[in-house]
Structure 1
Amino acid sequence: MDNAIRSLIFRLETIGDVTADDRAALASIPLRIASVPKGGEIVADGEMSTSCCLVVDGYIYRSKMRPDGKRQIFSLHPPGDIPDLHSLHLPRMDHNLAAMSDCTVARLAHADVKAVIEERPRLGSLLWRDTLIDAAAFRAWMLMLGAAEALERMAHLFCEAYTRASMAGLNEGNTFRLPLTQTDLSDILGISLVHANRTLQDLRSRGLMDFDQQVVTIIHWDHLRALAQFDPSYLHYLDSRVGRIDPAKM
């Protein structure tokens, strides 16, 4: 089985049951694999999309640009995610997808995905569930941007990133790679670069986590979660499929 499909199945198994027939149906979808350098555009705002983008390796992000050139990053997507699955029904993109790091993506033609969904409605329901979870994560982040201070926002970002890395099988104990610069952090949090740097130093000085050379280390998970008021229930993962979410339990 192609590594791209393995990453998708791994992701889907964290949110629902995937049968052998489902796996075979997913493996039957033709893939167009592409390497995208860091900062490279994958799908542009306003583009008419004819395929979905599956993250195979690395991270991609969703963003929009203001007329004055200021960027707002809305979400990060590790391997196994299909952040533009909604384009099956809304093909005109209303935001950008770009590479946060050097990455590998697989393009799945809309026609091929629709054919599999028509043949296996249960699999279509699982993909729909994945899209709804993506929307739930977006709402959680909008709440943080609108109602939380910068320190709480950053703590929440690292809590969610750790949880999603665990769901993708990317964590090693209490550490995981997260290819963000401080400029990226400021564009995610909606604060200045100086403020982002000070906020990161505050989290470090409290001994809750560290972020060095694009590696995040969670030091005190319970305290970080409490500071962020992080409740991962909006990610709707199955506890039985994701066994290493909480470092305190390892």
Structure 2
Amino acid sequence: MDRAIELMMRRLSGIGKLSSEDRDRLASLPLRRRRLAKGEELVVEGSRSSSCCLVIKGYVHRSKTLVTGDRQIFSLHMAGDIPDLQSLHLPRMDHSLVATSPAEVALISHASIQTILDQSSRLTALFWRDTLIDAAAFRSWMLMLGQAEAPVRMAHLFCELYVRSQLVGLDKENSFALPISQVDMADMLGTSTVHANRTLQDLRSQGLVDFARGRVTILRWQALAELGMFDESYLHIVDGPVGEQANS
């Protein structure tokens, strides 16, 4: 099976049930691959989209930028994610989709996706569920940005990314890849680069995480989750808690 389709199926299977017929429908989708350099815009705010993006490698993020040049990153997306599924019904983009790291994506035309959704009410419901979960994750992200201190925000971010990595089989020995710059990290956390760096050093000094060579290792999961006030229920994973499999 195509690696991109396999990743998408893993993601969808983590939040619902896929029948064999629906797996065949997903496998039939025509893909157009594209490699992205770090910082390259895949979708530009204000443009009209005719396809959805399935992340295969690396990370992409949603962001908006003020006329002053100040940027806010709203969400981070990894392999298996379709971060612009809403463009099926809202084709004019109200934000940009940008490669956070070197990335590879598969573009799937709206027409192709709509064809398989017309064939399967169960698949339509599962894609709708994925969109609703994405909205739930966004609300959690906004709560952290608006009400939590930087260490809490960073701990919460690491916990969420670890759980999502587990969901699609991208974790390894209590770690996951996060090849992003501290500038991007700061824009995710809504703080300065200097403060983001100090916060990361603080989590290291507490023995909660290690972050080296573009990889985050969870050293004490329970303590990290408590600091980040992390409750993965908003990710609506069908088989229950995932992150607890990490170190306690």
| 3-state DSSP of counterpart to 1:14 | helix
Q: Does 1:101 align with 2:111?
A: no
After TM superposition, the structure 1 stretch with the greater mean CA deviation from structure 2, 124-133 or 33-42, is: 33-42
Q: TM-score, normalised by structure 2?
A: 0.97
Superimposed CA distance per residue, residues 208-239 of structure 1 (whole angstroms, 9 cap, x where no aligned partner): 11111111010110000001110000000122
Unaligned 5+ segments in structure 2 are: none
Check whether the contact 2:39–2:99 (CA below 8 A) recurs between aligned residues: yes
| Count of residue pairs brought into register by the alignment | 248
Quote the residue 1:34 is aligned against.
34
| Whole-angstrom distance in 2 between the partners of 1:109 and 1:172 | 33
Q: Does 1:11 align with 2:11?
A: yes
For 2:209, give the aligned amino acid: M
Quote the residue 1:176 is aligned against.
176
| Whole-angstrom distance in 2 between the partners of 1:209 and 1:3 | 30
Quote the residue 2:191 is aligned against.
191
Q: Does 1:126 align with 2:126?
A: yes
| 3-state DSSP of counterpart to 1:201 | helix
Quote the residue 1:247 is aligned against.
246
Question: 1:245: how far off?
Answer: 5.2
| 3-state DSSP of counterpart to 1:106 | strand
Superimposed CA distance per residue, residues 64-100 of structure 1 (whole angstroms, 9 cap, x where no aligned partner): 1111111111111111100000000000000011111
Taking only aligned residues, the RMSD between alpha carbons, in angstroms, comes to 1.3
For 2:181, give the aligned amino acid: T
| Whole-angstrom distance in 2 between the partners of 1:210 and 1:169 | 20
| 3-state DSSP of counterpart to 2:15 | coil
Unaligned 5+ segments in structure 1 are: none
Could you tell me the percent identity over the aligned residues? 55
Q: Does 1:223 align with 2:216?
A: no
| Whole-angstrom distance in 2 between the partners of 1:169 and 1:234 | 20
List, as ranges, runs of 4+ consecutive aligned residues in structure 1 with deviation greater than 2 Å.
242-246
Check whether the contact 1:53–1:105 (CA below 8 A) recurs between aligned residues: yes
| Whole-angstrom distance in 2 between the partners of 1:154 and 1:94 | 26
| 1:48-63 matched pairs, under 5 angstroms | 48-63=48-63
| Whole-angstrom distance in 2 between the partners of 1:103 and 1:148 | 30
